[in-house]
Amino acid sequence: MNIAGQFRNLDSAPPALDIPPVTDVLRHGLELVEDISRKLHYLDTLMLTGKPNDISDAAAGIEAALKAAAPSFAEIAETMGRLGACNLTAAAAQLRKIEEDDAAGLAEALRIALTRFAKKSVSANRRAQQLNRGLNAALKSLQALGVQESGRLIAEA
């Protein structure tokens, strides 16, 4: 009985994929979230100053940073999928099971940073809505007083 060719050769390993280590992916994601959070905090404080050009520039910076971070966030989601995790808490638990404590700590830190970012984002959004309502009320009051030059006041505000 000849069994040659029925087993795969262990010497020929499948081609290595260019997959970055989980710790690198999570560390990069954490750095991005912290950077965007700092920008969001700056925007939130700028909204208190009433400087519309600075506010607009800061908001555009956040938008650009979020767009630039999209591939990294997709990579984090892909990494979580490889781990069989549906969220960062499950990813941290899975990483602990396979004794990747550094990566598990990064997953937890990223989850916490994203939670803080979400809270700051809600706060900044509320402030922006309040600012917008205040501007609209002021413009309506001025219009009611007859202070309008063919839309010029609205453009300047």
Residue 13 has pLDDT above 50, yes or no: no
Cβ-contact 83, 26 below 8 angstroms: no
In this model, does residue 7 exceed pLDDT 80?
no
Would you list the domain boundaries of the chain? 22-124
CA distance 29 to 61: 18
Q: Distance between CA 47 and CA 131 in Å, rounded?
A: 8
Mean pLDDT of the region 89-111 = 90
Q: Is the pLDDT of residue 132 over 70?
A: yes
Return the higher-pLDDT residue of 140 and 19: 140
And the tokens for 106? Answer: 């990064």
Residue 42 sits at φ, ψ, to 5 deg, of -60, -45
pLDDT digits (tens, 9 = 90+) for 58-69: 989 999 999 999
- Mean predicted lDDT score pLDDT of the chain: 81
pTM value surpassing 0.75: no
